[in-house]
């Protein structure tokens, strides 16, 4: 009889405790926020989602937890909810107690009577993580297909990674396995300003990742904490994250980023994300490097790295077109090394190749940046001189080249004296087409070789008589003084 007339569901307090216990069993968090934006109630799931216990959050401002980059949009949505607009699918990011980021999908409504905002928080971090990886892989593939060159690809990759993870430092390191050297073709800050000289911390991390093949995540710490620092990193005020760039042929390099001030700490998922897409980045860079190498080989001589015949032909065509338009002059100097075959026969092809590289460097030091030195085969070189004021300039440059070879060329194992024979053809005096000019310069060079290449007027293909009068001094630009 004691229970007669008693509410079977219990007292209001008991019913509230029951409903609270039920809400605590939900995987989603139930959040109640007052008009000031402070938590007045949050269910037990909040600790799993946000890392805080309900007691730690009650009375605290909701905006304290919102990711800095999402606060403006979150405030705008909160105002809309308080105006009576039901919100079912609003996404934003929160900072967990451990500093990591959690993505939340919200449903919210406003109780005008109670002056409370009631919302359900659903953790969608795993879904966003998967979407981010897929989007990044697609974006990197697209960048690899559309980038005009390697620097452009590096900038695209920086933009892609910058949209996923905060970074005040972003560097790509590449490893040359044959020379066992590490280079940094791209280093930039958050604004994209490139810095050609990476810091010592960046170098240390890149080196460690490349040689271990494993990612490294360094959390920010107090420098006075005394924790071990085997890499000798000097800046521990911010997080560091470095991952290897690996392809089927091994580790090609490393990607190194440093967090920016005020940003959440890098998490294990951030490391997983960067490590996952690093494979696509490595493949894209490898393909771009192969394409650049093929492009280089199609336009440049691989031994001397001078323009080859194909690129020379393009530049001659451009120079002649400009000369016709401006009524200017162009010169072609055809250069051949006397007795080069004897060098190969006596010292071997390796020494011969070193000699050709040294010759290319010495010739390049005798001309202007606007001119072109090309190796067209064997020991034959062609020099294109553009925008000449008078024929004497071409002869003066040829003399400057001959004088540069008065000193022996110092190779790895010995010094060699080499004498070039040079022939000159001028536009428009000796022809108005590339082939005619090359043939004329070639004939003049062979005439110089037959004559022994000792007399300036013969070696230079009938240079003007004034040349013998001492007017052969030229400045650094190859002009007569």
Q: Which helix (H) or strand (E) holds 352?
A: helix 349-364
CATH at residue 292: 3.30.450.40
- Name the domain boundary from 100, 123, 146: 123
Q: Which pLDDT belongs to residue 11?
A: 53
State pLDDT tens for residues 242-296. 999 999 889 999 999 999 888 888 988 899 999 999 999 999 998 888 888 888 8
181 and 271 in one domain? yes
In the prediction, which pLDDT does 465 show? 32
For residue 461, the enclosing domain spans: 309-469
CA-based radius of gyration for the chain: 36
The answer to whether position 229 is within a domain reads no
Q: What pLDDT score was predicted for residue 422? A: 95
Same domain, 42 and 165: no
CATH number at residue 57: 3.30.450.20
pLDDT at position 77: 92
In this structure, what are the phi and psi dihedrals at residue 261, rounded to the nearest 5 degrees?
Answer: -60, 135
Which domain-ending residue is among 123, 139, 163? Answer: 123
pLDDT at 455 (0 to 100): 32
| pLDDT reported for residue 26 | 66
Establish how many alpha carbons lie within 13 A of residue 446's alpha carbon, considering only the half-sphere containing its beta carbon: 5
User: What average pLDDT values come out for the chain (481 residues) when binned by 10 residues?
Assistant: 53 50 69 93 90 93 93 93 86 90 92 92 90 88 87 91 90 88 87 74 93 92 57 86 93 94 86 91 89 88 94 95 93 93 85 92 93 94 93 92 90 84 94 94 91 45 34 37 34
Domain boundary among 123, 157, 181: 123
Q: Whose structure tokens read 């071990």?
A: 228
Let me know whether 99 and 162 are in one domain.
no
State the pLDDT at residue 44.
Answer: 85
Give pLDDT tens digits for 460-474.
444 433 333 233 333
Q: Are residues 289 and 142 in the same domain?
A: yes
Q: What is the dihedral of CA 281, 235, 193, 71, to 10 degrees?
A: 80
Q: How far is CA 21 from CA 42, 116, 120, in A?
A: 12, 21, 16
Q: How many domains does the chain fold into?
A: 3
pTM assigned to the model = 0.64
163 lies in the same domain as 255: yes
Domain-located, residue 318: yes
What pLDDT does residue 371 have? 95
Per the domain annotation, does 165 fall within a domain?
yes
């Amino acid at each position: 009889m004691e229970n007669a007339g008693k509410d079977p569901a219990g007292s209001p307090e008991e019913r509230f405790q029951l409903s609270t216990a039920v809400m605590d069993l939900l995987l989603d968090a139930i959040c109640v926020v007052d008009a000031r934006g402070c938590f007045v109630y949050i269910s037990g799931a909040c600790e799993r989602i946000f890392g805080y216990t309900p007691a730690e959050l009650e009375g605290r401002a909701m905006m304290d937890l919102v990711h800095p980059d999402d606060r403006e949009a979150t405030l705008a949505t909160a105002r809309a909810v308080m105006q009576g607009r039901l919100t079912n699918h609003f996404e934003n990011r929160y900072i967990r107690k451990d500093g990591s980021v959690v993505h939340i999908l919200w449903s919210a409504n406003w109780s005008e009577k109670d002056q409370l905002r009631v919302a359900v928080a659903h953790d969608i971090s795993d879904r966003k993580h998967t979407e981010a990886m897929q989007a990044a892989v697609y974006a990197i593939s697209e960048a690899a297909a559309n980038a005009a060159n390697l620097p452009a690809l590096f900038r695209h990759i920086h933009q892609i990674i910058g949209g996923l993870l905060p970074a005040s430092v972003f560097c790509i390191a590449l490893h040359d396995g044959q020379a066992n050297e590490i280079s940094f073709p791209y280093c930039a800050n958050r604004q994209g300003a490139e810095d050609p000289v990476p810091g010592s911390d960046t170098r240390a991390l890149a080196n460690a990742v490349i040689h271990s093949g494993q990612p490294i995540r360094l959390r920010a710490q107090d420098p006075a904490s005394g924790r071990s620092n085997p890499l000798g990193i000097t800046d521990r005020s911010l997080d560091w994250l470095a991952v290897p760039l690996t392809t089927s042929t091994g580790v090609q390099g490393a990607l190194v980023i440093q967090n920016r001030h005020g940003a959440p700490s890098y998490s294990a998922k951030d490391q997983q994300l960067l490590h996952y897409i690093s494979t696509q980045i490595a493949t894209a860079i490898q393909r771009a490097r192969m394409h650049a190498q093929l492009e280089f080989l199609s336009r440049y001589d691989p031994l001397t790295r001078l323009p080859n015949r194909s690129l020379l032909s393009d530049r001659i065509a451009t120079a002649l077109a400009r000369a016709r338009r401006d009524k200017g002059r162009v010169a072609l100097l055809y250069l051949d090394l006397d007795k080069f075959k004897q060098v190969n026969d006596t010292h071997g092809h390796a020494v011969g190749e070193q000699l050709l590289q040294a010759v290319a460097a010495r010739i390049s030091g005798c001309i202007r940046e606007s001119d072109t030195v090309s190796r067209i085969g064997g020991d034959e070189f062609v020099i294109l001189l553009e925008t000449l004021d008078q024929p004497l300039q071409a002869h003066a440059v040829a003399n400057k080249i001959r004088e540069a070879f008065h000193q022996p060329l110092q190779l790895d194992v010995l010094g060699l004296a080499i004498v070039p024979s040079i022939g000159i053809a001028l536009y428009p005096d000796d022809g108005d087409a590339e082939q005619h000019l090359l043939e004329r310069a070639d004939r003049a060079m062979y005439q110089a070789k037959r004559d022994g290449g000792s007399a300036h007027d013969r070696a230079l293909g009938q240079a003007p008589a004034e040349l013998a009068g001492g007017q052969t001094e030229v400045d650094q630009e190859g002009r007569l003084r």
